[in-house]
Structure 1
C-alpha cells in the first residue's frame, strides 16, 4: 500500500491472487452444485483478471523493466497455457471424470504464474513506478476488469491491442451467456 493509504495496482493484484488461491482450494474441496458455483466464480475472476493484466499491467511492465519484454513474454506464455487449461475445464464441466486431474494442472499453472508475477513483474513495478502512477493503474485495472470477458478466450490473443479489440464483444457475449444461465437455473433446476 502506498504512503497515502490508497491501494495501488500491486495491492489489488496480490489480493486477487489470494482470492484465486482460495477459490482453487474451495473448488477442489466442494461437491455438486456448490462446486459448480465456485468453479463459475473462479472462471469469471480468472478471465477478467488476466484480461485486465494484459491491458494495463503488462504494457507498463514492458515500458519500465530493464528486462521487461522477457519477463512479460514469460508471464503471457504462462497465462496462455492457463487460459487453454481453463477453457478445456470449462468445456468439460465439474462432473467430468478428468475434471479433478485437469483442475490440479490448472492449480499448478496458476500458482506458479502468480508467484512468478509477484516475485518479478509486480516487485519491479513497485520499485520503478511512482506511487501515484501505481494508484492510477489500480483504477485502470479495475475499470478494465469490469469490461473484460468472463470466460477464457485463448484464441483472442494476449496483447493489449487484442484485449481492446476483442475484449468488449467477447465480454458482451459472455455476460449475455451468464444472464441466460442465471435465468435458466431457477426455471429448469440446472445450469446451461
Structure 2
C-alpha cells in the first residue's frame, strides 16, 4: 500500500523468483475462513471463444477492468503479472503467477495464484465457457486476507475485490467481437 503509483516493473523483477502463496486445489477445497467468489456473465450473441480468449490471454480484460498491469508475457503457465489498483488515495500492488491454463473447444482460460506481497492470499480463475448455445465468462476466486489492512477492514477489501471483479465481467462483455453488431 502506498500513496503513489507503485513501480510495477521493479515489483515484477522482485517477484520473478517468488513461489505462489496458494494452490490450484483451493478452488475445489477452499481453506478455512476463505472468501469464495464465483461470478459469470453471458456474453453477447456475436461473442466468440477466440475473441474473448485473445482479450483474456493478452491481459486486455484486466486492463479493461481498470487495473494497471505489467505482465512478463501473455498469460501462460509460469507467467508473472503485477497489477495495481487504486482505492481512494491508496495504491495496492498485487503480484500473481499463472499456474494453470485450459484450452479446449468448450472451455478456455487460466488460473493465477497470489505471490508474496499481494494484499490477499488465494487463487483466481478466468474462464470462457460454452453453456449450451450460450457463451459465458466466469470468474472463480478463493481468497483470504493476508495484508493487515484487509484483516482490519475486511469490508473495504471485499468492496475493492468486488469492484475489480465487476470490471473483469464488464470488460469481457465489451471485448472485440462481443459487442452486439460488431464484425
With normalisation by structure 2, the TM-score equals 0.31
User: Which structure shows the higher strand fraction?
Assistant: 2
**More helix by percentage:** 1
Rg: which structure is higher?
1
Give the TM-score taking structure 1 as reference length: 0.30
